[in-house]
Amino acid sequence: MSPDSAPGRLTIDLAALADNWRALAGLAAPGRCAAVVKADAYGIGLDRAAPALWAAGARTFFVAHLGEGLFARRLLPPEAEIYLLNGLEAGADPADYREHRLKPAIGSLEELARWSAFAARAGSPAPCALHLDTGMSRLGFSSLEALGAAMETHGALCGAGLLMSHFVSSEIPDDPLNALQIARFAAARAAFPHLSASLANSSGIFLPERPIYDLARPGYALYGGNPTPGRPNPMRPVVTLTVAVQQTRWIEAGATCGYNAQWTARRRTRLATLSAGYADGLPRGAGATDSRPGAEVAFAGRRCPLVGRVSMDLTIADVTDLPEDAVTAGSRAELFGAAVELDDFAARSGTIGYQALTSLGGRYRRDYAQGK
């Protein structure tokens, strides 16, 4: 665990997390709203996020794989539904899923055959979801015909209660793939009317077609990410990352900073070196170079650019335009939070907010706040 004196600190607002779930649940109504808590609840800590979401009203949870499911089961009441998005893992014992009341999203003939054979040996159906690929070409039955044929052969005891698929481009409302996937999923729902249906992820909830069906399953938006890129973020920020300044210095015009001298000062410049780097999950390309801009950080709400390549343990900010007494050793820079939106920091760093969140390093001190 990080010491209390860790220079990098994450403040995680669990009340904002709960509020975000309640807001999304309101939009999903009359359908139900799940919570996707994979990847350690998108980096904020599954052990704190899952109970907070349960207290807010979430009763259905999605994780990625078996290990996450086993951990989530220990954190949640017995009546919580836990689905595993990655399905029945190769080599895994189906008995482990059933013993811990975990429901894999079955997405292939081989998975369904194994799951149904286990249910036959157990003498009763084994609950699961069925995953139809409607355009991602990643996981799931490749077509409705493939799913139908598999169910005819192995569906008697599979215990399927949910039909699901996953959007390719729901964050782009006018992408024609959305309409195509909605149509494919509607056909599958008509073929399996006895199953509950789930298609909408975070951005899918906001599509004008409202493809909510019976169960929405937001993830990124719960943690403060913007599910409507290009428009104001309807979600409350959940995570604030601040990092302490280790040292400040002046350099002259023409001097460079960082590995490979990628950024050159065009004037006499004051630099502040922050005590976090790519070992802490910061994108290596967050700093500006001579050929492109980079991310910005904030000191007491005033923004300034990161410059030069991010190092393993250190990052450099150009604080020339701030008063000298505003940035000294021990001052704290906000990388994202209220003053710098997560998605803005990520985009300027050449990545996405999902990666910025799920890459948060283990050296940060984590402070959990209930907020208001």
Query: In the chain, where are the structural domains located?
Result: 31-223, 239-369
Is 223 annotated in the active site? Answer: no
> In this predicted structure, what is the pLDDT of residue 370?
81
> In this predicted structure, what is the pLDDT of residue 372?
58
Q: Out of 38, 213, 220, 278, pick the active-site residue.
A: 38
d(CA 38, CA 166): 15
Report the top-level CATH class of 31-223: alpha beta
pLDDT tens track for 307-342: 999 999 999 999 999 999 999 999 999 999 999 999
Q: Read off the tokens for 174.
A: 């006018």
Q: Find the radius of gyration of the CA atoms of the chain.
A: 23
10 Å CB burial of residue 48 (0-12, 13-18, 19+) is middle
Residues 6+ apart with CB under 8 A from 238: 12, 13, 16, 17, 20, 44, 222, 223, 224
Give the count of beta carbons closer than 10 Å to the beta carbon of residue 171: 22
Give the count of beta carbons closer than 10 Å to the beta carbon of residue 137: 9
Q: Out of 83, 97, 213, 259, pick the active-site residue.
A: 259
What is the full DSSP assignment across 259-310? GGG-EE-SSSEEEEEES--GGGT--TT-SB-SSS---EEEETTEEEEEES--
Q: Cα dist. 215→185, 192, 201 in Å?
A: 14, 15, 10
d(CA 235, CA 221): 7
SS3 203: helix
Closest by CA position to 163, among listed 136, 144, 137: 144
CATH superfamily of the domain spanning 239-369? Lyase, Ornithine Decarboxylase; Chain A, domain 1 (2.40.37.10)
Q: Read off the tokens for 292.
A: 């492109």
For helices 46-56 and 14-28, the axis angle rounded to 10 degrees is 50
Q: Do 135 and 169 meet the contact criterion of CB atoms below 8 Å apart? A: no
**31-223 with 239-369: one CATH topology?**
no
d(CA 10, CA 336): 10
Residues in the chain with pLDDT < 50? 1
Question: What is the torsional sign of CA 80, 86, 88, 89?
Answer: negative
Is 83 annotated in the active site? Answer: no
3-state percent helix, strand, coil for the chain, nearest multiple of 5 = 30, 25, 45
